[in-house]
Structures are given as structure tokens and as C-alpha cells.
Structure 1
Amino acid sequence: MVSQPKIATQHEIIYPDSDGKPIAENTIQFRWIMTIYHNLAWLFALQADVFVAGDLLWYPVEGNNKIRQAPDVMVVFGVEKGDRGSYQQWKEKAIAPQVVFEILSPGNRPGELTRKLLFYEHYGVEEYYIYDPENNDLSGCIRSGDRLAMIEEMQNWVSPRLQVRFELSEETLTLYNPQGQPFSSPLEIEQQLQQERSRAEQVTAELEEERSRAEQVTAELEEERSRAEQVTAELEEERSRAEQERSRAEQERSRAEQMTAELEEERRKAKRLEMLLREAGIDGDRL
């Protein structure tokens, strides 16, 4: 059965997943967006309650689909990871993205940048970073009360939320993760992920080999145990036979002693009879 498209009722508000704008206007801007997104996603990969997104529409107000913004990269602490068509804040514990990145392109106009700043300031962003790769210019804002205040010195600035350090040289911007390692390019991340997958597969294979060896050793020990039980049973059987032989020998010895005693008694009786006959003057040899 083919499902029918959902038709909005008169009072239902649709929150589109796309604003029709491209992710980036050029390859440099796209590369920077992907670099920041992938490195942050990797940085927080093991934290289930940190959500990282790129070019995702953020709707801060329920009931108004005109109030929206699509940060190049945003990080939200306190909500679960997972796929979303858009970030509808009222469905996300009312938590606003705490950190936002914007990568500028030649098409960005001052008025647009001002509107974005006011939007992020009004709707609760804590840290806002703007990088212009064309002019190698970096700026940032940090929340102070109900406003976003400019960060006076961005060189070697460390993000309070991300613990990422910004270093601006004459040629380019470099971001360093909390371990002090520079952000990798998306290709380098893919290569590193492939290496991690290869190492994981190798470790899995080694564990499987160890498991196989352990099973083999267990089987050999079981076989040895079985043989030991068999030997023990044979020894027990031999001990039982020896015990029976010893019992029979004891019985034979007892019977021999009894026969010896009976013969001795017969001999004694014969001597007594012979002595009585002699006393009676009877020659026992003539009887």
C-alpha cells in the first residue's frame, strides 16, 4: 500500500527541513565546514548526550517556522545523538545550541552577519565563532549575561565548552583538540577511521584466535581429565582386585592355621592314646 503524503491541517505548522540554500558557496567554505563538523563529531563520538550538526535548520520558537537559522556547524550539549530533519528546540528539552560556527564566503553581507549575531544572541548561544578563509580572519563572541560579547584576543583562545584551541597564523587557522592535536582534514579522518576499523578487525581476529586456542586447550584438558578419570577407575579396579586377593589370602592363611591346629590336636591325641596303651601293657604296634 502506497502511503499518502501528509497534508497539513488548517492549524498545523510545517517546519521545513531545508531553506533551499546550498551548504556552501565554494569549495573552500565547504572544506572548512566539513573539517570542523567531522572533527567535532569525532571529538564527542563517545558522549551520547552531545549532538553535532552541520547546516541543520534550527527552530527556536514553537509555532513560528519563520524564526530559524542554519548554522554551518552547531554543537548541543545535553541532548541525545541521532538523525533529525531539523532542530526543533521545544522537542529537545528546550536546549539551545551552545556553540555555533559560521564559515564566511564572499557572498556574505554585513547585514546578514548582523542578523545572525542578533539571532544567536537572542536565542541563547554561548559561543559564536566566525572564520573568513578568504581573508584569514577569525573572530568570536562569548556570552556575557544576555548578550554575546566580542572576544578581544582570539589567538590561542580555548573554547570553554569544547576545550578546542584556536591558533591563527599568517596563512591559515588551525584548531587543536583537547589533546593538543590539530584538526584533521575529512580525508585524514576517513583514513584514521579506516585504520581504527582495521585495528579493530585485527584485534577481533586475534581475540577469535585466542578464543579458538582457549577452546582447543579446554578440549585437551577435558581429554586429559577423561584419561585421568579412566586411569583412576583402572587403579580403583586394581585396588579392589588386590583387596579381594588379600582377603582370599587371609582366608587361606586362616584355614591353614586352623588345619595346623587340628593336626596338632590329632597328633597330641595320638600321643596320649599311645601313652595310655603302654601304661596298660598293650603294645600299640600289635593292634
Structure 2
Amino acid sequence: MVTTPQTPKVIYPDCDGNPMSDNTRQFRWIVVIKENLEILFDNDPNVFVAGDLLWYPIEGNNKLRQAPDVMVAMGRPKGDRGSYKQWEEADIPPQVVFEILSPGNRLKEMAKKQEFYDLYGVAEYYVFDPDRLDFNGWLRNQAGSLKVIEQPENWTSPRLGIRFELQDEQFTIYRPDGERFLTSTELAKQAEQQRQEAEQQRQEAEQQRQEAEQQRQRAESAEARLRELEARLRELEGDRHPEG
């Protein structure tokens, strides 16, 4: 009997063994971008945002992979994943990718990443160096290649709608509504402030309700006294003009 050899099952590891970041500044920027994008697209069930997630573009090849610091895949549902296997994602590559540089990054490494993103369909690629305050971007052109953005220091992402601003030694990312991306601490403070404002509004509304209730009670009391006085006057009129 002839047996057909079975193809070994390919394992796609969820971890490449590399750290997510080399320092706190790099990690902070990764978290800021990833979390603010999550918030921005929270109401869209078909925008998937991830940080440091391995992306495998080709089925059967577990060596061909990258783990962008932040990636956005539009047209893919939210949800937890161990890795982004493109053939299981309707063959949709992440359209937008961010890399946050650290002192440990090497030019050759970054060149390989750019080549990978260019080859496998990334439409927007952004690189920020927080130590040197250097921001660069690439956009896929009509010819199908990633080309450098000439003026990235005041650039709006066509797909995300967010705006990057680099001036006065300050790098800022703005939401489409003009609000800037906030750190987790700033988001927590903002939420607390909104909670306090809501509580103050509730207390003011309750005070207004109580004042309105007091006014109603005073009006009812005044009306009751008026009716009592009218009844008393009628009694007095009757005493002055007895019948007969």
C-alpha cells in the first residue's frame, strides 16, 4: 500500500523573542499611539489596532514576519489574536504601520522593515525617533510603491485622519476633531474631570429640582391660606348679615 506523506504542520509563533521596547520613552509613545487609535476607532467594529503583534503575510512561511510597534488593519474585525495571519484575514494586510525608534535600532534593520512593508502592501508607514525628534513617513503611490512624504512635519494621514505636527521641538498627534493624542495618565485625568463635571451637573440639577419643589410647596401653602382666608371672610360676612 502506497502512503502519501503528510505535510508537516507549520507553527506560527506568537512571540519572536524580541522586547517590545528598549526604554520608557519608546514604550510610552507606542502605548500613546496604539491606545489613542483604539479610542478613535472604538465605534467601528471593522478596524483592528494592535501593538507589537507578529504579522505573517504568507501562509506556510513562519520565518517571513514582522512585528510593527503599532499597526492598523481596516476591514478586519476587532478581537484578540495571537498573531496576524494575513491569509486568515481575508488576505488584507495592515494598511498603516508605525515604528518608534530606540537607540538599539540599526539602519540595516530599519531598511529591512521598510522593504518588508513595501513588498507586502502597507499603504502608510511612519517612523518616529523620540530621542532625536525626527519624524518621517512613506505613502504608497499609484505605481504601488512606498514613497517618502516630503513634508511629514505637518501631515494628515489619508486613512486615519490624524494629523502629525513637529515644531518647536515638540511632536504632537491630533485626532480628526482637533484634540491631541493623550497619555494614559492624561486620559485618566480627563475622565475624572468629566466625571466630576457630570457629578456637579447632577448636583445642580438636583438643587434646581429641590428649589422647584420648595416653590411648589410654598405656592400650595399660599393657596391654602388664601382659601382659608376666603372662608373666614365668608363667615364674617354671615355674622354681619344674619338671616331675617
TM range, normalised to the smaller chain?
A: 0.7 to 0.9
Measured in 1, the distance between the counterparts of 2:116 and 2:174 equals 28
Worse overlay, 156-165 or 185-194? 185-194
Residue 104 of structure 1, CA deviation: 0.3
- Compared with structure 1, are the counterparts of its residues 62 and 195 closer, same or farther at alpha carbon in structure 2 (3 Å cutoff)? farther
Sequence identity percentage: 54
Measured in 1, the distance between the counterparts of 2:140 and 2:191 equals 35
Worse overlay, 24-33 or 180-189? 180-189
Counterpart residue number, 2:52: 55
Matched, 1:46 2:43: yes
Higher relative helix content: 1
Q: Secondary structure at the match of 1:112?
A: helix
Counterpart residue number, 2:154: 156
Cα RMSD after superposing both structures: 2.3
Listed one character per residue, the Cα deviations across residues 51-107 of structure 1 (whole Å, up to 9, x for unaligned) are 000000000000000000000000010000000000000001110000000000011
Residue 10 of structure 1, CA deviation: 5.8
Measured in 1, the distance between the counterparts of 2:193 and 2:39 equals 14
Q: Secondary structure at the match of 1:157?
A: strand
Normalising by structure 1, we get a TM-score of: 0.65
Greater Rg by CA: 1
Q: 1:64 aligns with which of 58, 61, 65?
A: 61
Counterpart residue number, 2:239: none
Matches within 5 A, 1:1-287: 11-144=8-141, 145-193=143-191, 198=195
Measured in 2, the distance between the counterparts of 1:193 and 1:97 equals 30
The answer on whether the counterparts of 1:133 and 1:172 sit within 8 Å (CA) in structure 2 is no
Listed one character per residue, the Cα deviations across residues 6-32 of structure 1 (whole Å, up to 9, x for unaligned) are xxx861000000001111000000000
Measured in 2, the distance between the counterparts of 1:108 and 1:172 equals 22
Normalising by structure 2, we get a TM-score of: 0.76
Measured in 2, the distance between the counterparts of 1:23 and 1:86 equals 14
Residue 179 of structure 1, CA deviation: 0.3
The answer on whether the counterparts of 1:122 and 1:146 sit within 8 Å (CA) in structure 2 is no
Listed one character per residue, the Cα deviations across residues 257-284 of structure 1 (whole Å, up to 9, x for unaligned) are xxxxxxxxxxxxxxxxxxxxxxxxxxxx
AA of the residue aligned to 2:168:
E
AA of the residue aligned to 1:132:
D
List, as ranges, runs of 4+ consecutive aligned residues in structure 1 with deviation greater than 6 Å.
Answer: none
AA of the residue aligned to 2:139:
I
Counterpart residue number, 1:284: none
- Compared with structure 1, are the counterparts of its residues 47 and 193 closer, same or farther at alpha carbon in structure 2 (3 Å cutoff)? farther
AA of the residue aligned to 2:151:
E
Q: Give the length in aligned residue pairs.
A: 197
The answer on whether the counterparts of 1:55 and 1:70 sit within 8 Å (CA) in structure 2 is yes
Q: For structure 2, which runs of at least 5 residues remain unmatched after alignment?
A: 1-5, 204-244
Measured in 2, the distance between the counterparts of 1:128 and 1:136 equals 17
